[in-house]
Chains A and B, each alone.
Chain A
């Protein structure tokens, strides 16, 4: 193990212990580790953006005077200048143009993507569960497929009921019919199962990261002791 590995390993151990110190509550060492993480990440991201985006996409085209890339490069340059003007209090409003352009474009792309990539395919998937080809098996009835399709349909409807009537009940403060309340309760069960699965996934990911870090510590200490 060379000296640089030892130094980096000690720094890694120190940072890990600083993060673990959160068990004692929010303290200086934990915050210092977070600040180091945020600072290093931001600096690295800025360096990457400068070298991978600004220089090749903005500066380089503008250096090619008279070409199409030059004229196209003026558009992002103008937007960047407007953004920079936001630093001056008297010209803050100038920055709203590129921000509005960015927000509008992002919202349009997101809505189109959700509609085309999630809503429509998922609804079609629920409907296709009831296709005759799937419900027939060997010239008989695929009861398993029918139950599965009904279960999925029940889950979709009950969760939608829960969200719709839960919010409307909170706003109106009125008591809903018993059937609606029952379906909403079923939706709550589906939601609870989904959130439980998400929690298990998050915990598993965090546990894996913790085990990997402890395993690294173990190997480093063993290597350090072995010389």
Chain B
């Protein structure tokens, strides 16, 4: 198996292209016997300048094809560490082994072989023409530098087996020693574990996928500026420009392959030694902004430090937590922490000036009402034709005789008590005048004290108000209380069928439906009468039309009409002028709103037309 110089993965010996990264494998020219040349492998520290110079000097006019093949072979053998063949003098060709002579001979004779072998040489020669020679040389040097850089970084990333002897030489734990090895500058007391996400450790880079000569020429335009600014020595070195050039390369997709890739570079690292690692690590924080800007820092390239593990093997594994893994873990922890919490209210963007309009309109309405209440005298009540539901309710009230039981159910809030009292007070006075036996019941706690206020407003004797608990269920229990001995029904409240009229004082649609749906089917249609606020009129009409209500009066206007029909004076606290003024203000506001909306829509339409 041969190793790809680009990705470092294994390929078959006869492979001409890497099956993993698609890189051309010039190992085609590697001949067994040359691989075992230990002298070549023992010189990993290649001098690129010398190598390029050898390429140039090697192109003598005679025997062009042979030199091309030789130089090409030199170049690609140097990829695997046998670059010293480039300095082989031409006269030594005669002393070449027999196998090499046969190959050269066959390459000259066979056109196919010549096409395959010499094409690369010719292409290299063409690339080394006057127009492209300098660029190709720089690209080649850059490529070598990136391979070296990559191998050195991968070697740093690869977990090393723990050395027991070094663990406690100076009382420094093994994990801390590895941390210092990765980040030497952080030895000055910086806490790694506290801020792991902000310390991009060692950047993993790998050569670009298309590292062949053709690919290098294709991408020469993109990297020309960087290559021109960096000499091969700078690239091979650990200076900041070299790191910037390297950082523009693609990040390592899988950190697991770091160990495999680091194998060929072990010897280089051993040569370079710690002297090269220290400046590189010192430059890492300087590269962090550049890498973050390029989006390379979050792609699993950076290392994260974790808490102190138990064993040396676990130490190395924990130290190599990827940033993305840690971020995912943090997201999961946040999700678990948010479980069961309410969704925060969505922030709505306030329209500027909206509060001002609201203030102006509200103040205007208040001023109008106050002016009407203070300066405008109350008008005499007009004789208005009674609406049909109110007339029906009046007929029911007229049929009541002395001693008939009437159950008054209070289900309204304090906010609507003025309206309900205006409607109900004349009716209660009429019932009291007729001698009806009134009983008060409420299903709302507020109804207990509102009932007292109502009785005072109606100027009738105060009675005790019963409280029926349970809402809808309580109403159903009261309706089914045929024997009148239910423990749920408060004392004093009899079977509902025994009441001649059940008068509901309502401001809630739900409460009205509770009585109509739960108690209505068990009662005759003529026993349910409703006095409601004006907001419930629309709901009550269908029930009245269906014959489920004996009659109703909704709102102060109908209440005033009903009071007139019953020959009762309405309450004095019913300023109809102010009510009319308030309605006029609201109508004006609605019309203004319609006009302004139409104007805004028209403007928006006109503004869109020129764009179209």
Which residues of chain A have a CB within 8 Å of any CB of chain B?
20, 23-25, 41, 44-45, 48-49, 52-53, 57, 69, 72, 105-106, 109-110, 113-114, 116-118, 121-122, 124-125, 194, 197-198, 200-205, 207-215, 218
Contact = CB atoms under 8 A, between A and B. Distances in A.
A211 B373 contact: yes
Given A49-B445, A106-B473, A211-B369, 16 more contacts: A20-B362, A24-B355, A52-B467, A52-B469, A53-B467, A109-B518, A117-B513, A121-B543, A125-B547, A198-B535, A198-B538, A201-B535, A203-B583, A204-B583, A214-B373, A218-B370
A214 B586 contact: no
Interface in B499-528: 507, 513-514, 516-518, 520-521
Q: Do most interface residues of chain B lie in helix, strand or loop, or is the interface mixed?
A: helix
Contacts of B422: 208
24 contacts: A24-B359, A49-B469, A69-B487, A109-B473, A113-B513, A113-B514, A117-B518, A117-B521, A121-B546, A121-B547, A121-B548, A201-B534, A201-B536, A203-B583, A204-B533, A207-B582, A208-B556, A209-B415, A209-B416, A209-B419, A211-B579, A212-B418, A214-B366, A214-B578
Given A208-B419, A208-B556, A113 B583 contact: no
B473 A105 contact: yes
A184 B4 CA distance: 71
B476 interface: yes
Contacts of A48: 445, 448, 467
B446 to A, nearest CB: 7
B164 to A, nearest CB: 48
B582 A201 contact: no
Nearest to A199: B535
Contacts of A211: 369, 373, 418, 575, 578-579, 582
B462 to A, nearest CB: 18
Nearest to A102: B473
A211 to B, nearest CB: 5
A208 B469 contact: no
Contacts of B542: 122, 125
Top 6 closest A-B pairs, CB basis?
A: A117-B517, A212-B418, A113-B517, A201-B535, A125-B546, A204-B534
A110 B355 contact: no
Interface in B534-560: 534-538, 542-543, 545-548, 554-556
Q: Do most interface residues of chain A lie in helix, strand or loop, or is the interface mixed?
A: helix
A53 B490 CA distance: 10
B573 interface: yes
A207 B576 CA distance: 11
B535 A214 contact: no
Contacts, number: 141
A113 B480 CA distance: 13
A210 B416 CA distance: 10
Contacts of B358: 23, 25
A199 B219 CA distance: 71
B472 interface: yes
Contact of A205 (B521, B534, B575): B534
B390 to A, nearest CB: 16
A44 B373 contact: no
B363 interface: yes
B174 to A, nearest CB: 43
Given A117-B521, A198-B538, A215-B573, A20 B513 contact: no
B373 A205 contact: no
B538 A201 contact: yes
Contacts of A25: 355, 358
Contacts of B534: 200-201, 204-205, 208
B374 interface: yes
